[in-house]
């Protein structure tokens, strides 16, 4: 008598008896069957590519903390937009690195119709008219103190900031932005921007709300990229969300949707998959995540040291967003992923 027969004779149940013949591995046995039952898929249509722009011509500056990511002058940004369009990437999100001489306490240069971000928008739309352009109306790239709003006596003043962010959003729409994505987290900004866009003939310009932007340690490389590293006075805890809070994130998203947001974003991404799922389940609205600079840098650093398979980790991390409920992902990996998917 073999061990299996002896165990059965002793009263031990067989696997089929234990599982009721429900063997869940059946559909994992082959590539064709795994593909047949795969629940989520990552496609190029899920990708938004964040890029950084700087002054000058033919400028391509590497960002030390983000290997493979560059600050681009407007002419090169337009050329990269053409490449993104060829790859099928639906949209680009632009972020400026503004010269220090143009930064002040109120971020007033954001109100210049010909500032860096607006010139980049016009150039991208001229080069690739069918690609979506997403712009941020927050003040931090334009302030001398690195905050997203106007600083008065050590306090970020909400209503004055909203007024300026709103004016900037109208200018960005006039330059050709398709989506305004204000990341400043001021109360009332979404409703004020919607009213102003509509009043100025930009009813078709959408708003992507950074509804749940958390006070996070994962933004460091981004601040190097836009030139605010070392500028920040204090922290952003009075307006970014506490990363311990989930119910508050739901209330923020609910408020922004009530004010007229067309879609919501969760930022950062992977540490907040639970928030993505909650928002999607609660509101059934277009939901996005920003795979932020720190997330990108961790994957790149681990891959460079041979600790992980960088390509597999990249794709797995993006599929996790889809599984959590995302309709799209802002990711610095976008062109690389688009090439892989196309290939």
Cis preceding linkage at 268, omega within 30: yes
Which tokens sit at 339?
């090439």
In 3D space, the residue among 87, 69, 43 whose CA is nearest the CA of residue 328 turns out to be 43
Catalytic residue, chosen from 125, 267, 280, 322, is: 267
**213 in catalytic set:** yes
Give residue 172's Cα distance to chain centre.
19
Which tokens sit at 16?
């089929």
Collapse the DSSP code of 178 into the 3-class scheme (helix H, G, I; strand E, B; otherwise coil) and give the result.
coil
Measured CA to CA, the distance from residue 320 to residue 42 in angstroms comes to 9
**267 in catalytic set:** yes
Measured CA to CA, the distance from residue 80 to residue 78 in angstroms comes to 5
Collapse the DSSP code of 208 into the 3-class scheme (helix H, G, I; strand E, B; otherwise coil) and give the result.
strand
Measured CA to CA, the distance from residue 309 to residue 110 in angstroms comes to 41
Q: What is the DSSP code (8-state) at residue 14? A: P
Catalytic residue, chosen from 3, 8, 29, 213, is: 213
| Residue 314 bridge partners (DSSP) | none
Residues recognised as catalytic: 213, 267
């Amino acid at each position: 008598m073999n061990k299996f027969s002896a165990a059965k004779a002793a009263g031990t149940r067989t696997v089929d008896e234990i599982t009721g013949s429900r063997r869940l591995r059946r559909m994992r046995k082959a590539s064709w069957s795994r593909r047949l039952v795969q629940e989520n898929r990552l496609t190029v249509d899920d990708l938004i590519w964040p890029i950084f722009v700087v002054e000058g011509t033919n400028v391509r500056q590497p960002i030390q903390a983000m290997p493979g990511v560059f600050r681009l002058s407007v002419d090169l940004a337009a050329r990269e937009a053409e490449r993104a369009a060829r790859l099928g990437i639906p949209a680009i999100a632009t972020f400026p690195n503004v010269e220090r001489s143009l930064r002040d306490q109120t971020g007033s240069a954001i109100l210049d119709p010909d500032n860096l971000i607006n010139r980049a928008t016009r150039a991208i739309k001229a080069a690739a008219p069918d690609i979506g352009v997403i712009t941020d109306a927050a003040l931090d790239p334009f302030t001398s103190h690195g905050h997203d709003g106007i600083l008065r006596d050590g306090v970020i003043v909400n209503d004055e900031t909203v007024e300026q962010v709103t004016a900037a959003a109208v200018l960005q729409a006039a330059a050709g932005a398709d989506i305004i994505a204000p990341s400043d987290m001021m109360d009332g900004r979404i409703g004020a921007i919607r009213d102003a866009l509509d009043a100025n003939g930009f009813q078709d310009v959408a708003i992507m709300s950074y509804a749940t932007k958390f006070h996070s340690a994962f933004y460091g490389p981004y601040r190097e990229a836009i030139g605010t590293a070392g500028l920040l006075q204090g922290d952003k805890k009075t307006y970014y969300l506490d990363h311990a809070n989930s119910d508050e994130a739901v209330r923020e998203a609910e408020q922004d949707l009530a004010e007229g947001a067309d879609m919501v974003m969760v930022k950062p991404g992977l540490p907040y998959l639970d928030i993505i799922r909650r928002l999607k389940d609660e509101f059934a609205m277009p939901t996005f995540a920003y795979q932020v600079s720190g997330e990108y840098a961790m994957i790149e650093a681990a891959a460079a040291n041979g600790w992980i398979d960088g390509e597999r980790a990249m794709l797995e991390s993006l599929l996790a967003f889809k599984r959590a409920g995302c309709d799209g992902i802002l990711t610095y990996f976008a062109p690389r992923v688009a090439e892989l998917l196309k290939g």
